[in-house]
């Protein structure tokens, strides 16, 4: 797994920023428009990501108006001048692309670390450690972990990591499925995302805490990392709040502590 496409996308993003710094719009500028369209098309080809492509197509559309004589009226823009409206929309799209590139990089780095940890744990250990490793693995085998995560790639990575680390693992992709799985499995630990398609992790944690009591360990594994998110997680019943991307060794150490 490499990051060449992200490097190329960031370079193209910088090129777009440079165009809009040099050309503020408000008049017909064919050269600037052609440059924007060229950079947007190259970015769409460089990176296979739906969110970035939508933002780039928006930039192309707004640029056709920005670099023309066809100014939008205030009635079209909620009171902003036509140029200010277009500049704001383009700025928001560029910001969204920059944020998305950072998120993609973080996801790939986490996947790399997880695969490395899996590979390391699959390797045969020296004979002198074999008995100790087997005993530790057997001890973990009695611990049941439920993963509630709607991102299937992330859920599968977690499942594989935990399985090869000696835990019994079940996965649920929605909050309701997670609650049903908890009734069947009776897990010792639940790793739960906050953003779920049918509810949120706070509701899941609160329900599990009421039904399973204080003996169940609840760990939030989420992209929501503000102080307010941590406070809400603790109030909902979570014992621990981990922010994605979580290093596999950190996650395993928290499970073992």
Can you say whether the dihedral through the CA atoms of 125, 246, 158, 119 is positive or negative?
negative
pLDDT in tens, 23-55: 887 777 889 999 999 999 999 998 888 999 999
148 and 241 share a domain? yes
State the CATH number of the domain containing residue 166: 3.40.50.2300
Whether residue 119 lies inside any domain: the answer is no
Mean pLDDT of 123-137: 42
Task: Decide if 194 contacts 233 (C-beta within 8 A).
Answer: yes
42 and 78 share a domain? yes
Going by pLDDT thresholds of 50, 70 and 90, the confidence category of residue 74 is very low
Look over the chain and give the mean of its residue pLDDT values, rounded to a whole number: 83
Q: Which residues lie below 8 Å from residue 130, measured CB to CB, with a gap of 6+?
A: none
Quote the tokens at residue 19: 């165009």
Whether residue 124 lies inside any domain: the answer is no
Domain residues for the domain of 155 are 132-256
105 and 143 share a domain? no
Whether residue 127 lies inside any domain: the answer is no
251 and 139 share a domain? yes
217 and 251 share a domain? yes
Rounded distance between C-alpha atoms, residue 208 and residue 192, angstroms:
11
63 and 101 share a domain? yes
Whether residue 126 lies inside any domain: the answer is no
Residue 80, pLDDT above cutoff 70: no
85 and 165 share a domain? no
183 and 98 share a domain? no
Whether residue 243 lies inside any domain: the answer is yes
Whether residue 190 lies inside any domain: the answer is yes
Whole-model pTM above 0.85? no
The partner residues of 217 in beta bridges, in order of sequence, read 189
Task: Decide if 185 contacts 208 (C-beta within 8 A).
Answer: no
Whether residue 139 lies inside any domain: the answer is yes
Going by pLDDT thresholds of 50, 70 and 90, the confidence category of residue 199 is confident
233 and 147 share a domain? yes
93 and 139 share a domain? no
Mean pLDDT of 159-170: 90
Residues written for the chain:
257
Phi, psi (deg, nearest 5) at residue 69: -90, 0
240 and 138 share a domain? yes
33 and 96 share a domain? yes
Rounded distance between C-alpha atoms, residue 43 and residue 10, angstroms:
9
Q: How many domains are contained in the chain?
A: 2
Whether residue 121 lies inside any domain: the answer is no
Nearest CA among 167, 161, 185, 184 for reference residue 246 = 161
Q: Among 62, 94, 109, where does a domain finish?
A: 109
Q: Among 94, 109, 124, where does a domain finish?
A: 109
């Amino acid at each position: 797994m490499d990051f060449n496409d992200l490097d190329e996308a960031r370079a193209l993003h910088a090129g777009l920023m440079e165009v809009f710094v040099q050309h503020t719009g408000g008049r017909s500028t064919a050269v600037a428009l052609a440059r924007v369209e060229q950079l947007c098309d190259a970015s769409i080809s460089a990176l296979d990501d739906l969110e970035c492509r939508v933002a780039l197509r928006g930039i192309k559309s707004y640029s056709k108006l920005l670099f023309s004589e066809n100014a939008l009226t205030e009635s079209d823009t909620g009171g902003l001048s036509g140029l200010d409206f277009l500049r704001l929309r383009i700025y928001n799209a560029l910001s969204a692309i920059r944020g998305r590139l950072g998120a993609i990089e973080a996801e790939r780095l986490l996947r790399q670390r997880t695969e490395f940890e899996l590979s390391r744990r699959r390797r045969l250990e020296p004979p002198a450690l074999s008995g100790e490793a087997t005993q530790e693995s057997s001890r973990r085998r009695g611990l049941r972990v439920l993963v509630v995560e709607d991102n299937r790639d992330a859920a599968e990575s977690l499942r594989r990591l935990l399985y090869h680390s000696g835990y019994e693992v079940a996965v649920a992709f929605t909050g309701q499925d997670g609650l049903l799985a908890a009734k069947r499995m009776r897990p010792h630990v639940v790793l739960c995302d906050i953003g779920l398609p049918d509810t949120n992790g706070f509701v899941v944690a609160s329900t599990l805490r009421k039904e399973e009591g204080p003996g169940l360990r609840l760990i939030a594994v989420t992209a929501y990392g503000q102080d307010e998110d941590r406070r809400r997680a603790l109030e909902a019943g979570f014992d621990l709040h981990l922010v994605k991307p979580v290093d596999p060794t950190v996650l395993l150490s928290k499970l073992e502590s």
